[in-house]
Structure 1
Amino acid sequence: MFPYPPPYFFPPGHPGAHPGQATDQQSSPKDTPTTPQSPSQDVQSSSSQPQTVVSPGQGYYPYAVAGHGFLSEPPHCYAPFTAEFRANNVPPPKFDLTLGYKRKVALDAAASSPHSDVGSTQSLVAGHQGTPGSNYETYIPKPPSSEIQAQRSGKLNALTNTPTGLPTLAMAMDPQNFPFVEGARQMNVRNYGVVKLRNIPFATKRSEVIAFLGRNSKILNDSDEPVHIIMERVTSKTMDAYVEFTTLEDAMKAVERHHLNSQTGRLSRLGDRPVEVELSSQASLMKDLFPLATGMRWDGATPEFKPFNHNEPWENFKGFISEEEMTMLVKHVEVPHRSPFSKQCPQRPFECLISTLKKFPWYVTDRITISQRRAVFEATCDLLRLLSGSIYRNSDPINLNTQLYKRVIASAMSCPGFSPMMKDGIAYIVNMSGLEQRSFGQPRFAECWRHQYALAPKPGIPLDVLEWYIAIIREQSHRDVMGRPLSKRTVVQEKGEATDMYWGYFWAEVGYSMGPQFDTMTLAQAAYAELTAVERILGRVFSG
């Protein structure tokens, strides 16, 4: 057996030494390696077994085991000494365990938003500093620089024009600055003058109704969809037609003109059929548009609900529409040969959808459930796809044309009951540009508003103010989650990996529970949960 341990290094001058191995007398300082060694390598060179460092002239490897005359195998993290290196007894610096945590939080915050153009996010992350031994991070506020202020809107500069760069909670929650509203309540309700046309042909077109009343009649603008041809959603049978005028006086003048023509023997006709023209009301229009709405009465365009009747539950209010109605509305287009009435006028289901979206009382949020709104939204998406396919195939260029397609799109995108995420889905179906979406009040990154079922951007609010608030919510919700115990934090983070984190952990603050109880939740309840969640998060960021 060999008398030396592997890898069999021999002392200088030994017969088994390599011919090129240097001896004590042959070595010189100029032959020694000159690569400096870091202090960390000095720490790693220590061992439980006593060792001595051989001078640079004693051999190629600088380490030798004490008590032996040969060189041992160098350590794995070997780095040669230099002649100038001197060991010291100063202990290494203590590890700052918060450094890795702070870096992770900053990276998580940056990764939570896939959009790097939210300018306020960088300033928020830059102001975070961790406190050693604590789970929470502290925010060191500072006013924005002049370069950042030059890129912001005047409202955001006024909001952040404080010594700390952050507003107080009262300023942040002020209605003039707060950028979120309950979207469905933004619907404008006005009691326009209404004229009713009875006994119209079932194939009557919208253009024929407008021509019948005359272009000089002061009906509402085309963008307001003043013509409502009533169709039974289940049977697709055409009923009467309603036309909205600017004022009640204008509606009365139109009716009086037709009555004078009748007295002189000139009957009012649509096609070859005489029709009756009479003054009507918003209550009659709403009652015919939503015939299944029981347990209530219409006061103009405003519903008034009756007390709950325990003895006759079928008379109680269950909704303005039913999911079956919206399903049948789509079926009339999918299988027109089974709908004899809509076969003669294929545009009627789409016009019925437009009237439903325009006149639906979305502002009564305490009576509209999540599932009812979803039924209207899904029917809208299905009808848009079917109409797009018909236009592409050029199946009926007279009735199913681009003009009707644009009318349906405008009604859907301006519907106050749809959330920003729903409108983004509609924009995706019709391939709408981002600039055109802005004209309908859509925020940037609307596809990231996945957990906002009732909140919507405030009309007219600058985009940078809106995104600044979202960045504040995102950063604070991240800090809140990181402050939880590890077991609870891990569960929340795993759920966060399966969703969009543009709003951070806002969804965890709201605490929606999926299932039947979520479907039966009203829009008012969703708005209360989301607005209170925003207020709680902002209250933890801003001082009073």
Structure 2
Amino acid sequence: MASPLALQEQQAFDYRSDKLKVLTSTPSGYPSFSTAMAPEFFPFVEGSKQHKTVNHGVVKIRNIPFDTKRAEVIAFLGRNSKILNDSDEPVHIIMERVTSKTMDAYVEFCTLEDAMKAVERHHLNIMNGRVSRLGDRPVDVELSDQGCLMKDLFPLAVGIFWDGSRPEFKAQKPDQPWENFKGFISEEEMTMLVKHVEVPHRSPFSKDCPQRPYECLISTLKKFPWSYTDHITISQRRAVFKATCELLRLLARSIYKTDNHLHLNRQLYRRVASAAMGCHGFTPLMKDDIAWFAQMSDEEQQLGYGQPPYAFGWRHQYAMCLKPGMPPDVVEWYIALIRDQTLRDTMSRPLQDRNDIQERTRDTDPYWGHFWAELGHVMGPAFDSLTIAQVAHMEFSAVERILSRALACH
């Protein structure tokens, strides 16, 4: 007859996911290092690299009234137009982030053929004497592409040209530094985007269309080329995240005060929050902050947006995130292994080093153990100027070193 302890261990094993059972089905209960690092088991990926660009069909509507609403653009194209689903945010009304001026709108369609049909329909209307209008203003409707959309969405990104949604980087020009690539957006742009909401009387264009800065942010989050991590710095991403949090805060205040319930409402708030939670460039901790703002349940975060359990504990993961579809208990198993090993590593250090680490531990979350000590980041301008790709390399290298020590005997 099995002992109570053996029965308890068997029950615990039975409750594990199939993947974790396979991973730990060894005499010691631990896999080899090579097995733990195998793609089918390793539960972490570089978050920004999960962003995929798709060359949807694009239609451009020129010379729109500056107070044009998103719903008006959709109605203008007609219910039968095969634009992307609402959740994909197919309408991009271009707003200059610094001046808030609006001129053109882009609409993404499921396919190039669908976009061509929409343009042909409007050209046919013109031939029949019916001028295309948005509001009281005649507008031009033309076939466009992702490259034009990206160029207008990120106008300050010099030193590149757009091949569809993909940026191609030009050679550096030492004698013409102003022509060299510095970023897809500037921190000033994101600051001014918030200022248009904070001080609306100084922004005549956005004053008459108060939802425009929020929709500009949605387009920025959706279309930002996050997968090009070699060209995005920690500080640039932080500027986008900071603007997102500020705009969510300001929108929540406007909804509470019913400043403009017709345009600044819960629906717009959900759209902004959804774009932020689905943003591949944001870390699990950043998304946890956004979820807190939006009062999202843990279930919605994990099932709807792929957040890991205890995302608030991912304090020092600036590039890593949960691999989609990975069972939660597998993730927990890896983090527990990393936590235990880093704590053992700390205890093997000289007394002074150990005391320093334990003192600093009081200011952070213990969920990942002393993973931060393995990374050795020094916060400051040098860290802020690192690219997401550089930080990702540091994080995955640290995980590999820790797991190799933890599984050395298995």
TM-score of the superposed pair, with normalisation by structure 2: 0.97
1:173 match: 37
1:480 counterpart = 2:357: no
In structure 2, distance between residues paired with 1:370 and 1:310: 24
In structure 2, distance between residues paired with 1:398 and 1:490: 57
Secondary structure of the structure 2 residue equivalent to 1:317: coil
Contact 1:319 1:368 in 2 (8 A): yes
Where in structure 1 do 4 or more consecutive aligned residues deviate above 3 Å?
Answer: none
1:398 counterpart = 2:398: no
1:319 counterpart = 2:183: yes
Point out where structure 2 has 5 or more consecutive residues left out of the alignment. Answer: none
Change (3 A) 1:143 1:380: farther
Q: Deviations over 1:132-161 (max 9, x none)?
A: xxxxxxxxxx99931111221111111101
More helix by share: 2
2:388 match: 523
Shift of residue 444, structure 1, vs aligned partner? 1.3
1:230 counterpart = 2:94: yes
- Name which of 113, 122, 128 aligns with 1:264: 128
Matched to 1:501, the amino acid is P
2:283 match: 419
Q: Deviations over 1:264-301 (max 9, x none)?
A: 10111111111100000000000000000001110000
Q: After superposition, where does 1:33-182 map in structure 2 within 5 Å?
A: 145-182=9-46
Matched to 1:513, the amino acid is V
Matched to 1:396, the amino acid is N
Q: Deviations over 1:347-403 (max 9, x none)?
A: 000000000000000000010000000000000000001101111111111111111
- Name which of 199, 207, 210 aligns with 1:343: 207
1:505 match: 370
Matched to 1:150, the amino acid is D
- Name which of 285, 291, 314 aligns with 1:449: 314
Contact 1:143 1:160 in 2 (8 A): no
Secondary structure of the structure 1 residue equivalent to 2:45: strand
Matched to 1:391, the amino acid is I
Secondary structure of the structure 1 residue equivalent to 2:171: coil
In structure 1, distance between residues paired with 2:293 and 2:111: 37
Change (3 A) 1:143 1:284: farther
Shift of residue 330, structure 1, vs aligned partner? 0.4
1:375 counterpart = 2:249: no
The percent of aligned pairs where both chains have the same amino acid is: 67
Contact 1:143 1:165 in 2 (8 A): no
1:514 counterpart = 2:364: no
TM-score of the superposed pair, with normalisation by structure 1: 0.73
Shift of residue 190, structure 1, vs aligned partner? 0.6
In structure 2, distance between residues paired with 1:185 and 1:329: 26
Change (3 A) 1:185 1:446: same
Secondary structure of the structure 2 residue equivalent to 1:277: strand
Matched to 2:65, the amino acid is P
Compute the RMSD of aligned alpha carbons.
Answer: 1.4
1:201 match: 65
Matched to 1:333, the amino acid is V
Matched to 1:400, the amino acid is L
In structure 1, distance between residues paired with 2:103 and 2:34: 54
In structure 2, distance between residues paired with 1:385 and 1:495: 31
1:86 match: none
Q: Deviations over 1:519-544 (max 9, x none)?
A: 10000000000000000000011247
In structure 1, distance between residues paired with 2:60 and 2:325: 36
Secondary structure of the structure 2 residue equivalent to 1:164: coil
In structure 1, distance between residues paired with 2:230 and 2:390: 7
Secondary structure of the structure 2 residue equivalent to 1:229: strand
Secondary structure of the structure 2 residue equivalent to 1:145: helix
Matched to 1:494, the amino acid is E
Contact 1:144 1:165 in 2 (8 A): no
Count of residues in Structure 1 that have an aligned counterpart in Structure 2: 404
Shift of residue 515, structure 1, vs aligned partner? 1.1
In structure 1, distance between residues paired with 2:10 and 2:120: 66
1:496 counterpart = 2:383: no
In structure 2, distance between residues paired with 1:231 and 1:239: 7
In structure 1, distance between residues paired with 2:246 and 2:21: 44
Q: After superposition, where does 1:205-354 map in structure 2 within 5 Å?
A: 205-354=69-218
Contact 1:143 1:164 in 2 (8 A): no
Change (3 A) 1:282 1:143: farther
User: Which structure has the bigger radius of gyration?
Assistant: 1
Contact 1:258 1:277 in 2 (8 A): yes
1:461 match: 326
In structure 2, distance between residues paired with 1:498 and 1:343: 42
Q: Deviations over 1:237-284 (max 9, x none)?
A: 112000000110110111011111111101111111111000000000
- Name which of 224, 227, 237 aligns with 1:360: 224
Secondary structure of the structure 2 residue equivalent to 1:405: helix
Contact 1:220 1:244 in 2 (8 A): yes
1:88 match: none
Shift of residue 429, structure 1, vs aligned partner? 1.4
